[in-house]
Amino acid sequence: MESLQASCAVSGGGPAGMMLGLILARAGLDVVVLEKHADFFRDFRGDTIHPSTVGVLGELGLRDAFLGLPHTSIRTLDAVVDGTRLHPIDFRRLPPPDDFLVLAPQWDFLTFLAGEAERHPNFRLLMSTAATGLIRDGDTVRGLVAEGPDGPVRVEADLTVAADGRDSALRATAGLRPRRFGVPIDVIWFRLPKPAETHPSTLAYLGDGAMVITIDRGDYFQTGLVIAKGGIDQLRAAGLPAFRSAVAGAAPFLRGPLETITDWEPLTLLSVQIDRLPRWYRHGFLAIGDAAHAMSPAFGVGVNYAVQDAVAAANALAAPLRDGPVDLRLLDAVQRRRLPPVEWMQRIQLAAHRGISRPGAGPLLSRSPSPALRLAIAAATPVAQRLTARLIGRGLRPESVAPELR
């Protein structure tokens, strides 16, 4: 069995785990991050890097290097509701320079963070290595055990962090059980070639009782159809023509590209869930990111809330970890800082799913809004833009890297 020693052992090489590992390694701490997959390449993961995360990269001196990667910068996001184009999101309402959203494949983002972390000799990334259990000393967690490509691995650590996603194995092993909230939707993700007809950057199309998400990936759209929870079997029974009709009903300009979907193989089901842990920690153990709180895809905030968890944890724990195991009160302080914004965002997401994004809901707008309604929408748009830019772009409690960690 391979044995390692670290100040911090992190299970999960997603946005939370990689960002925490990077910041702690830059602070001079010995860090081991375990990622169960052989690479970061998984499609249909969160690809939106919000202004809050771009700001964190700037504080770490990595903003320009990251923006040198292939990406799309977006300053506005529209929504088309029953044929009427609305302009609810304008990140230019935020103070520069972080007044835009970045669309970049998550595998590029994670590879970038890993590359920066590996510049530090005190950082070690173990790929194809899945954490399977915890090392315990009474009620205190002293590290983790894992299975790697060459056999068992044992990592003794002053702090063990579960950043291994919404189905976290370590969270369950630590005896932490999430509270789950009923979500009435799932999402079917698929790729569509971009049609010749161009449109402004559009977050979603709502119409004919359907909601379609479109994420611009350069030469294609990452497209999502919102369906009723557990409705995949009913959709399959109706057949591909009914599927294509549902998408085209909300987004008619995709009718042509939809003909490229000739079987069910390219379609990936995301079972949407929202949950959170009542308690994120034990002695020597902390859960962050999706392991602490699974977010809905609504507003695309999952990556950025995970990054903010990592920044908050690093700010609170980097200095104490230099002296060994951290006091339970410090772990509690991380949860108390991050739980309120998570709770509020999840409430907003649940409200959105109960109303706006509920499959089969009636029309939200008339196909021909009256002049008075158009005037009201125009008057409300600047107010909505300021609110959504702050709520979505920065988050309810944006985190800033402590000066001594920059």
Mean pLDDT lowest for which of 20-34, 36-50, 203-217, 319-333?
36-50
Q: What is the pLDDT of residue 373?
A: 67
Of 126, 27, 111, the closest CA to residue 65 belongs to: 111
Contact residues for 151 (Cβ-Cβ < 8 A; gap 6+): 1, 2
Q: What is the pLDDT of residue 366?
A: 47
Residue pLDDT, tens place only, 345-364: 999 999 888 776 556 555 45
Residue pLDDT, tens place only, 105-154: 899 999 999 999 999 999 999 999 999 999 999 999 999 999 999 999 99
Q: What is the pLDDT of residue 105?
A: 86
108 CB burial (10 A radius; 0-12, 13-18, 19+):
middle
Between the alpha carbon of residue 267 and those of residues 172, 235, 285, the distances in Å are 30, 12, 37
Residue pLDDT, tens place only, 49-106: 999 999 999 999 999 999 999 998 999 989 898 888 989 999 999 999 999 999 888 9
Does the pLDDT of residue 368 top 70, yes or no?
no
Does the pLDDT of residue 198 top 90, yes or no?
no
Q: How far apart are CA 204 and CA 247, in angstroms?
A: 11
Phi, psi of 305 (to 5 degrees): -70, -35
